[in-house]
A = this chain, B = another copy of it.
Amino acid sequence: MLLDVTGITNLTSNIWELCLSGPFPYQRVQAGQFINILINQGKDHILRRPISIAEVDTNKKSLTIVFRVVGQGTEWLSQRQVGDQLNIIGPLGTGFQLPAKNSKVVVVGGGIGVPPLYQLVKELKQITNDLTIILGFRNQADCFWVERFAKLGQVLVATNDGSFGTKGFVTDLLDTKANYEYLYSCGPRGMLQALKNHCQGINIQGYVSLEERMACGVGACYGCVCSSADRKLHYRICKEGPVFNWEEVAL
**Which partner residue on chain B sits nearest A43 by CB separation?**
B44
A43 to B45, CA, bound (A): 10
Distance between Cα atoms of A237 and B88 in the complex (Å): 46
Interfacial residues of chain A within 10-68, with CB under 8 A of chain B in the complex: 43-44
Q: How far is the CA of A43 from the CA of B44 in the complex (A)?
A: 7
- Cα of A44 to Cα of B43 in the assembled complex, Å: 7
Contacts of A43 in B (CB 8 A): 43-44
Interface of A is mostly: loop
Enumerate chain B residues within 8 angstroms of A44, measured Cβ to Cβ.
43-44
Compute how far the CA of A33 lies from the CA of B114 in the bound complex, rounded to whole angstroms: 59
Distance between Cα atoms of A44 and B41 in the complex (Å): 12
Q: Which chain B residue lies CB-closest to A44?
A: B43
A212 to B43, CA, bound (A): 27
Q: Which of chain B's residues has its CB closest to A40's CB? A: B43
A118 to B44: give the CA distance in the assembly, Å.
38
Q: Could you tell me the distance in whole angstroms from the C-beta of A141 to the nearest C-beta in chain B?
A: 32
Bound Cα distance A44, B40 (Å): 11
Bound complex: CA A43 to CA B40 (Å): 11
The interface bits of chain A over 106-118 (1 if a CB of B lies within 8 angstroms of the residue's CB, else 0) are: 0000000000000
A208 to B: closest C-beta gap in Å: 38
What's the least CB distance linking A175 to chain B, in Å?
52
**A195 to chain B: closest CB distance in Å?**
42
Complex CA gap A44/B46 in Å reads 12
A131 to B: closest C-beta gap in Å? 47
A44 to chain B, nearest CB (A): 6
In the complex, A43 Cα to B43 Cα: how many Å? 8
Q: How far is the CA of A43 from the CA of B72 in the complex (A)?
A: 12
Contact with B along A88-121 (1 / 0, CB 8 A): 0000000000000000000000000000000000
Chain B min CB distance to A12 (Å): 28
| Residues of chain A at the chain B interface (Cβ within 8 Å) | 43-44
3 cross-chain CB contacts under 8 A? A43-B43, A43-B44, A44-B44
Lowest 3 CB-CB distances: which A-B pairs, in order? Answer: A43-B44, A43-B43, A44-B44
